[in-house]
Amino acid sequence: METRRRGRIEVICGSMFSGKTEELIRRLKRAKIARQRVEIFKPAVDVRYSDADVVSHDSTKISSTPVDSSSSILLFSSEIDVVGIDEAQFFDAGLPEICNQLADQGIRVIVAGLDMDFRGRPFGPMPQLCSIADEVSKMHAICVQCGDLANFSHRIVANEKQFLLGENDEYEPLCRACYRKATGTTP
């Protein structure tokens, strides 16, 4: 009797410096230990730490396939048990449908990305991914101002573009109260 694999979508979201990529890498390494066939994707535009590897801020890394669009993921996903996708906020609006197709084929899909941009607004396809996910893990950084849990990525450089690849020099994690104070917005 053949057993059918059950696909699912897992979303890991939160602010910058909250450990999203680290958690994605942890789950993918565990899948490899379980002898599952794993493929990892990242947007080709993300070249901060490496052109090809997915790398966390603490330098943990795993090799990946950079792709220009979400539809490219389908081309590399045959004979795979687990698909990992990092920096999902930078992908096109077709990503949720691609994730649904993969899950419907019995593939475990693990997606990591920022749920909000630096303005505190939903970012890219992340809201749709959270709504169709079987599981959502909200990660939190530590507020650099007061030490509380942080869920906002505060941009500390003058640049209004929504897509700005950044690190410690461009962003800092803040809690709600410190973010409101820093941006001059009221709740």
First to last CA, the chain: 57
Q: Yes or no: say if 85 and 98 are a contact pair by the CB < 8 Å rule.
A: no
Q: What type of residue sits at position 81?
A: D
172 is annotated as an active-site residue = no
179 φ, ψ (degrees, to nearest 5):
-65, -45
Let me know: does 73 contact 50? Beta carbons within 8 Å: no
CA distances from 168 to 11, 96, 120, 148, 153 (A): 24, 29, 18, 18, 11
- Residue holding tokens 């790398």? 55
Catalytic residue among 87, 135, 160, 167: 87
Which of 50, 79, 80 lies closest to 64 in space, CA to CA?
50
Residues designated catalytic: 87
